A and B are shown apart, each in its own frame.
Chain A
Amino acid sequence: MKKSKLLWIMGLVIIVINLYVYIFKPGGDVVLKYFSDILPVICSFITVLGLSAALKSFKVFDQAKLSWFLLLIGIVLFFLGETIYGVLELVFKVDVANVFPTYADWIGWIPGYIPMIIGLWLLVNGYKKSGFSFGNPRTYVLASIFFILLAVAIITTILIPIAHDSETSTIAKYVYFYYPIFDIFIIVPAVILAYITNLFGKAKISLPWRYIALGFICMTIADILYSYLQWSSQYGSGNYTDLAWHAGYLFIALGGLYQKELIDSV
């Protein structure tokens, strides 16, 4: 069986179990907390494996390999973030719902954005150099309007209330600002990649990018929701936002495996 097919099955099992635990809460809050902290570590580790497989299949260190390498570095840092967050809550009993930012932010998630953003933009830039069609310019105009509206919505609903909150420390405010702003830098190339892959139809060359784009879109939506929920003290173990992160990680892992299978097939 192909590894991508195996991951589809594994991913569906993970998401179904995830949903079951979040809805029915078997074992109560303790089980929910363990589940909520351990599952992101497992999902992000699967993504590290998927992207590593893709990276190994590239023989020459060119722009394509560099892009995938940067995505892998970013995901490794996210994996560190997930692991540190879980250890802080489960081992050191830190009340992570009320402590922000934590070491998970400083060591994992904050630095993780930078290589991922560069990696995604390198893919878009590489596509530009390829000479393939970029599609209908009107779509980009509509997408730009959508992103401007999205940015305005994020600024007014998340950033301005946080900026005016006297109970939030300055450093926490910077970190709360960091995530949604950098999410926009991620979602723009991710949506461009999703649109580009749509132009390829069902061609196998488009599969890796399609799932990479889908994964980052899921994670960005989760990130934006998290910023608001965390700041308004509504985020805790078992929040459904986690599902978008888990699905995002698994889609990116699938992208990595499809990339490996694509290269092996040529």
Chain B
Amino acid sequence: MTKNIIAVKIESYLMPLIGELLTAGTLKVQCEKIGTTVDKLNAMDLQNLAPRLEQALVIFLGGDRARKVSRQILTMSF
């Protein structure tokens, strides 16, 4: 598990929802896609990361609730 505080917040939010394995895997892959790593994730990156996670969750939760998750992730920089 990462020690980056933002990543820890995202992980603890997503873990009950999508499980430990896929949280770690998805976060790693999506961070790579936006040109960073889980350990270097910062508040600015969330603007790019949140919509990607939203897109991933749409099929499970529908667009409305996936957007809610995305908005929640955006607040994790504070």
> Pick the contact of A130 from B17, B19, B59, B68 — CB < 8 Å?
B59
Classify the interface of chain B: helix, strand, loop or mixed: helix
CB proximity of A245 to chain B, nearest CB, Å:
27
A20 to B49, CA, bound (A): 55
C-beta contact mask, A30-68 vs B, less than 8 Å → 1, else 0?
000000000000000000000000000111101111010
Q: Is the CB of A202 within 8 A of B59?
A: no
Q: Which residues of A contact B30 (CB under 8 A)?
A: 131
With CB as the reference atom, state the residue of chain B lying closest to A65.
Answer: B62
Q: Which residues of A contact B59 (CB under 8 A)?
A: 63-64, 67, 123, 126-127, 129-130
Classify the interface of chain A: helix, strand, loop or mixed: helix
Q: Is the CB of B19 within 8 A of A60?
A: no
**In the complex, B8 has a CB within 8 A of chain A:** no
A75 to B36, CA, bound (A): 45
Q: Is the CB of B62 within 8 A of A130?
A: no
Extra A-B contacts (9), CB below 8 Å, given A201-B20, A203-B18: A58-B64, A131-B52, A201-B19, A203-B22, A204-B17, A208-B60, A209-B60, A266-B65, A266-B69
CB proximity of A51 to chain B, nearest CB, Å:
14
Q: Is the CB of B19 within 8 A of A203?
A: yes
A129 to B26, CA, bound (A): 13
30 cross-chain CB contacts under 8 A: A58-B62, A59-B65, A62-B62, A64-B58, A64-B59, A64-B63, A123-B59, A129-B59, A130-B57, A130-B59, A131-B26, A131-B56, A132-B25, A132-B26, A132-B56, A133-B26, A199-B21, A199-B22, A200-B19, A201-B20, A202-B19, A203-B16, A203-B18, A204-B17, A205-B61, A206-B19, A262-B60, A262-B61, A263-B61, A266-B17
